[in-house]
Chains A and B, each alone.
Chain A
Amino acid sequence: MEFFNSSIFMLDSSIRLTVPLLLACLAGLYSERAGIFDIGLEGKMLAGAFAAATVAALSGSALYGLMAGIGVSIIMSLIHGVASITFRGNQIISGVAINFLAAGLTTLLGQTWFRQGGRTPQLSGDARFTGIELPYAAELADVPIIGGIYSELLSGHNILVYVAFAAVPITYYVLFHTRFGLRLRASGENPKAVDTAGVNVNFMRFKAVIITGVLCGIAGAYLSTAQSAGFGNNMTAGKGFIALAALIFAKWMPIRALFATLLFGFLDALQIRLQGVELPMIGEVPVQLIQALPYVLTVILLAGFIGKAVGPKAGGIPYVKER
């Protein structure tokens, strides 16, 4: 029973750590499926987190914070879009620029506005997203197994957690069962065909990039107004890149993205749990090994040693309409 409880606890913390990865991963999915590489997920999340925490602190409302986070993240997305779609610039370079821009501006503006070394004021009460108790969670808590799963694992998360998990089937449906999704995917595989069908490829790609902005904004808001109570310097700490790794790991598929990010989220929870713990037989596991695992796995997968990850065919190539 104790083992069961601690596993539930581990899974619970895995879920919390998975959420920003999942949102960012789905964000990247829309963009890359439409043919726009995005290594600026990290920067957009960071900017979103900062905007959300700032507005939440000033207005006292987490919802306004979320909207600001999404707004700022969309602006960053549009910069990426203008550079790589309108001016046909290099998408990787643009992504690098976005990451630097976010890292620099958030700390600079944070220090100017709040003078707390780049941190935003501590959030409390309505300025944060707090857990939602699912119906009968308290009553069911004592029921063996089911009670633990229901009231610990499923209940008590904040709204953004449920949004993130709901985004998986929605993304699946939108991408594979709507006309919009078909056109979006075609823009990333064979833009010429989309153009021939009379659909504006660049406009299509802009739509995808904006959705990326929305999801990154939610991920950022989750970090600064739900998981933590405020923004801290560089608080994304590479999560955008892990999400990118997860996207490749998931082979650009929404349902697989869920499992890939759950795996990486679990590894993160495991790494936190194992810090300084002596395991029987093995001794102390170096946490850095577990931290590096998502990256190592991605490299191995990308190299085709376990399966093969092939991205959208027209990814990274600006579309030039024939004259």
Chain B
Amino acid sequence: MSVRKPLPRWADLILIPALNLTLAFLVSGLVVLIIGESPLEAVQILLFGAFGYGEGLGYTLHFATNFVFAGLAFSIASHAGQFNIGAEGQAYIAGLGAILVALFLDQTHWLIVMPLAMLAAGALGGFWGFVPGYLAAKRGSHVVITTIMFNFIAASIMVYLLNNVLKEPSNMAPESASVVNAGKMPQLREFWDFFGFAPVNVMLFVAIAALIFTYILLWRTELGYKIRTLGKNPDAAHYAGISNSAIVMISMTIAGAMAAMIALNEVLGVQNRLVLDFVFGYGFVGIAVGLMGRNHPIGIALAAILFGALYQGGQELAFMMPAVTREMIVVIQALVILFTGAMEGLFRGPLETIFGLIEFSKNSDAETEKDQHKDSKE
């Protein structure tokens, strides 16, 4: 008989990601060894840099904020069965909405700027998600390819706008004018100097709200039910009377709007102006965050903190161990994506066999006991 059975839920949700992550870190340690540094020392520096003191923790949370949005942008689309790797471009183009609103309303109050900037950024980012969604739903384009292309198109548009339209005549660098007053997102350090110079700001709370929003949306509303049904089985969704194309477009739009929030955190939270490439790959990290977090808000929150810690700790590491440059983080990220995402099946097979054997021996134990019981009765 075949001993393979589906894994118990806890093994699927915790054991497999933990094993894959461990493997990714072990291979990363190997890379550190090859470079000629001590992996254990590196881990120590990384952990202290990320959590050991207020400013480090502040940076970790700041990066984690970006990764929550990026992770949600990937996951929401993923629940609808769409592979959104366009968070990078969606966030980039959204920066335009954020900075224009902030510059225009710079002399008002941040409570006015923030919702309007979120709206403007969300509209642009959402649009940048909607179009690939529309093309996929109505014209049968492949979302992966379209979102890749849209990342590049967004980059070209932004380079053009920053060089030719938004650039101040007095400024040589391709960047917009700066916001100085209400356009800046309030920094947590203004209320609590524990965070030193770290740019963690009110968007952190928006990220937490976004996680809760996503949970409610996906698991407590009709729309969420439709999204998940479509992702699980498009034919069943269609048969149940759900408009698959509408759900694809809606979920891609929400995903784009989520990615757009990165723009507020970076443009109005750190740079205070629109600069080239401010998204800095955060959108791509969202893929890793979503995969590791199993597309669930709690998982995404944990994965975002992990990657936030890697980014902040990695900067510290590059400073303390010059041989380990910032790119080490990119390597770790790649290995995490590879092992938790693409090679997810690596441990699944053996584990299924092991669990199956345990189950099998338990059952046979019980059966022999039963038999013995029968025997004694007779």
Contact = CB atoms under 8 A, between A and B. Distances in A.
Interface of A: 37, 39, 79, 82-84, 87-94, 96-101, 103-105, 107-109, 111-112, 118, 238, 241, 244-245, 248, 286, 288-289, 291-292, 295-296, 298-299, 302-305, 311
29 contacts: A83-B338, A92-B144, A93-B342, A94-B343, A96-B284, A97-B334, A97-B342, A99-B334, A100-B284, A100-B333, A100-B334, A100-B337, A104-B330, A104-B332, A104-B333, A108-B325, A108-B328, A109-B34, A109-B35, A111-B323, A238-B152, A241-B148, A241-B152, A286-B164, A298-B149, A299-B141, A303-B141, A304-B139, A304-B140
B148 A101 contact: no
B344 A89 contact: yes
Given A87-B342, A89-B341, A298-B145, A108 B150 contact: no
Contact of B160 (A39, A288, A295): A288
What is the predominant secondary structure among interface residues of chain B facing chain A? Answer: helix
A101 B334 contact: yes
B164 A93 contact: no
B323 A112 contact: yes
Contact of B338 (A101, A109, A296): A101
B36 interface: yes
A101 B142 CA distance: 24
Given A89-B345, A295-B152, A298-B145, A96 B337 contact: yes
Task: Tell which of A93, A291, A304 has the most Cβ of chain B within 10 Å.
Answer: A93
B57 interface: no
A305 B145 CA distance: 16
Given A82-B343, A84-B342, A97-B334, 6 more contacts: A100-B331, A103-B327, A238-B152, A292-B153, A298-B149, A302-B146
B135 interface: yes
Interface in B320-352: 323-325, 327-335, 337-338, 341-346
B215 interface: no
A240 B31 CA distance: 25
Nearest to B325: A111
A103 B331 CA distance: 8
Interface of B: 31, 34-36, 83, 85, 135, 139-142, 144-146, 148-150, 152-153, 156-157, 159-160, 164, 284, 287, 291, 323-325, 327-335, 337-338, 341-346
A97 B341 contact: yes
B90 to A, nearest CB: 15
A268 B291 CA distance: 36
A53 B337 CA distance: 27
B44 to A, nearest CB: 20
A296 B337 contact: no
A70 B331 CA distance: 21
A306 to B, nearest CB: 12
Contacts of A89: 341-345
Nearest to A113: B35
A289 B334 CA distance: 32
Contacts of B159: 288
A94 B338 contact: yes
A288 B156 contact: yes
Contacts of A92: 83, 85, 144
B36 A105 contact: no
Contacts of A245: 145, 149
Contacts of A296: 149, 153
A295 B157 CA distance: 12
Contacts of A105: 31, 327, 331
Contacts of A39: 144, 148
A206 to B, nearest CB: 16
B71 to A, nearest CB: 14
Contact of B342 (A94, A112, A238, A295): A94
B346 A87 contact: yes
Nearest to B338: A97
Nearest to A102: B334
Contacts of B164: 286
Contacts of B148: 39, 241, 244
Contacts of A88: 345
A118 B85 CA distance: 27
B22 to A, nearest CB: 17
Task: Tell which of A101, A244, A289, A299 has the most Cβ of chain B within 10 Å.
Answer: A299
Contact of A292 (B85, B144, B157, B341): B157
A121 B205 CA distance: 48
Contact of B149 (A111, A118, A289, A295): A295
Nearest to B323: A112
Contacts of A298: 145, 149
Give the 9 A-B residue pairs with the shortest CB-CB distance, closest first.
Answer: A104-B330, A100-B334, A94-B342, A104-B331, A292-B156, A89-B342, A101-B334, A97-B338, A93-B341
Nearest to B142: A302
A96 to B, nearest CB: 6
B195 to A, nearest CB: 29
A296 B149 CA distance: 7
A211 to B, nearest CB: 21
Contacts of A244: 145, 148
A314 to B, nearest CB: 14
Contacts of A98: 334, 338
A89 B164 CA distance: 44
Nearest to A308: B140
A291 B153 CA distance: 9
Given A87-B343, A93-B291, A96-B287, A112 B35 contact: yes
Nearest to B147: A299
Contacts of A311: 142
Contacts of B338: 79, 83, 94, 97-98, 101
Nearest to A305: B139
B345 A87 contact: yes
A104 B334 contact: yes
B331 A101 contact: yes
Task: Tell which of A87, A88, A94 has the most Cβ of chain B within 10 Å.
Answer: A87
Contacts of A107: 325, 327, 330
Contact of A289 (B150, B160, B331): B160
